Amino acid sequence: MEVTRIQISLFLCLLSCASSLGTRYTPDWASLDSRPIPDWYDDVKFGIFVHWGVFSVPAFGSEWFWWYWKGSQSPSYVQFMIKNYPPGFSYTDFAPQFHAQFFDPEEMADIFEASGAKYVVLTNKHHEGFTNWGSPYSWNWNSVDNGPHRDLVADLGAAIRKRSLHYGLYNSLYEWFNPIYLSDKQSGFKTRDYVEKKAMPELYELVNRYKPDLIWSDGDWEAPDTYWNSTGFLAWLYNDSPVKDVVVTNDRWGKGCYCKHGGYYNCADKFTPGELPNHKWEKCQAVDKISWGYRRNMKLSELMDLPSIIKDMVYVVALGGNYLLNVGPTSDGIIAPVFEERLRGVGAWLKVNGDAIYGTKPWRVQAENATVPVWYTSKSSTVYVIITSNPMQNSFTLSAPKTSSNTVVTLLGSPEPLKWAPLKTSGLIVLLPDLPFTPADAWTLKLDKVA
Ligand X SMILES: *[C@@H]1O[C@H](CO)[C@@H](O)[C@H](O)[C@H]1NC(C)=O
At closest approach, how far in Å is the CB of 303 from ligand X?
26
Angle 35-41-47 from CA coordinates, rounded to 5° = 140
User: Which residue number places its CB atom closest to ligand X?
Assistant: 232
At closest approach, how far in Å is the CB of 101 from ligand X?
39
Q: For residues 122 and 367, which CB has a smaller minimum distance to ligand X in the complex?
A: 367
Torsion angle (degrees, nearest 10) of CA 172, 176, 179, 185: 90
Residues facing residue 421 across a β-bridge? 429
Q: For residues 235 and 336, which CB has a smaller minimum distance to ligand X in the complex?
A: 235
Cβ-contact 427, 363 below 8 angstroms: no
Q: For residues 133 and 233, which CB has a smaller minimum distance to ligand X in the complex?
A: 233
Reported as type and span, the H/E element at residue 286 is strand 281-286
Torsion angle (degrees, nearest 10) of CA 235, 236, 241, 245: 10
Q: For residues 273 and 373, which CB has a smaller minimum distance to ligand X in the complex?
A: 373
At closest approach, how far in Å is the CB of 183 from ligand X?
17
Concatenated DSSP letters of 411-425? ETT--SBPPEEE-SS
At closest approach, how far in Å is the CB of 236 from ligand X?
5
Distance CA 192, CA 292 (A): 30
Task: Indicate the length of the chain as a whole number.
Answer: 451
Nearest to 175 by CA among 133, 129, 139, 119: 129
Round the CA-based radius of gyration of the chain to a whole number and report it: 24
Q: For residues 193 and 305, which CB has a smaller minimum distance to ligand X in the complex?
A: 193
Q: For residues 56 and 249, which CB has a smaller minimum distance to ligand X in the complex?
A: 249
Distance CA 351, CA 372 (A): 23
Q: For residues 28 and 245, which CB has a smaller minimum distance to ligand X in the complex?
A: 28
Distance CA 366, CA 100 (A): 43
At closest approach, how far in Å is the CB of 254 from ligand X?
13
Residue ranges in contact with ligand X by CB under 6 A: 229, 232-233, 236, 367-369, 373
Q: For residues 204 and 221, which CB has a smaller minimum distance to ligand X in the complex?
A: 204
One-letter identity of residue 323: Y
The single-letter DSSP state of residue 242 is T
Q: For residues 251 and 368, which CB has a smaller minimum distance to ligand X in the complex?
A: 368
At closest approach, how far in Å is the CB of 195 from ligand X?
7
At closest approach, how far in Å is the CB of 423 from ligand X?
17
At closest approach, how far in Å is the CB of 431 from ligand X?
23
Angle 187-188-191 from CA coordinates, rounded to 5° = 50
**C-alpha to C-alpha distances, 232 to 32, 35, 108, 206, 382, nearest whole angstrom:** 10, 15, 35, 16, 43
At closest approach, how far in Å is the CB of 174 from ligand X?
17
Distance CA 214, CA 168 (A): 4
The single-letter DSSP state of residue 364 is S
Q: For residues 367 and 450, which CB has a smaller minimum distance to ligand X in the complex?
A: 367
At closest approach, how far in Å is the CB of 435 from ligand X?
21
Cβ-contact 266, 250 below 8 angstroms: yes
Neighbouring C-alpha atoms within 13 Å toward the C-beta of 233: 27
Q: Name the 3-class secondary structure at 230.
A: helix
